[in-house]
Amino acid sequence: MRTLIQALKTKELRKKILFVLFIIIVYRIGSFIPTPGVDYNVVNKCMATIGSASQENFIGLVNLFSGGAMLQLSIFALGVMPYITASIVVQLLRVVIPRFEALHKEAQSGEAKLTQY
């Protein structure tokens, strides 16, 4: 407990802790705001129609990674998954496309270009 009090006495650390808590609160609030234009009942019927065990496991896994926001169809449902998927695809394309491999071997400018893609 004393360590926490010491940490909060440091102005810079206190600002960082409060910023992280603020971002977590904003994300949690955003995970309860429904996506505009999406009918939750229609999506549930569609998921029930698909409904095989492998589909349910995949949807459950995606829901787990999104913090439970995917099945609520919230505005923050995707989270960081599109960024992670794009990063994986670019890494796989480095093997197939020689230009991507050349960019990877360059210094920071090449990595910056790959990150931009």
Mean pLDDT of all residues in 49-54: 58
* Spatial distance between the Cα atoms of 16 and 42, rounded to a whole number of angstroms: 42
Closest CA to 35 of 8, 64, 69, 73: 73
Q: In whole angstroms, how far apart are CA 22 and each of 10, 18, 92, 100?
A: 18, 6, 36, 38
In this prediction, residue 72 carries a pLDDT of: 73
Q: What does pTM read for this prediction?
A: 0.51
16 pLDDT above the threshold of 70: yes
Round the average pLDDT of the chain to a whole number and report it.
78
Q: Indicate if the pLDDT at residue 56 is higher than 70.
A: no
pLDDT of residue 68: 66
pLDDT tens figures, 68-91? 666 777 777 766 777 888 888 888
The domain spans of the chain are 80-117
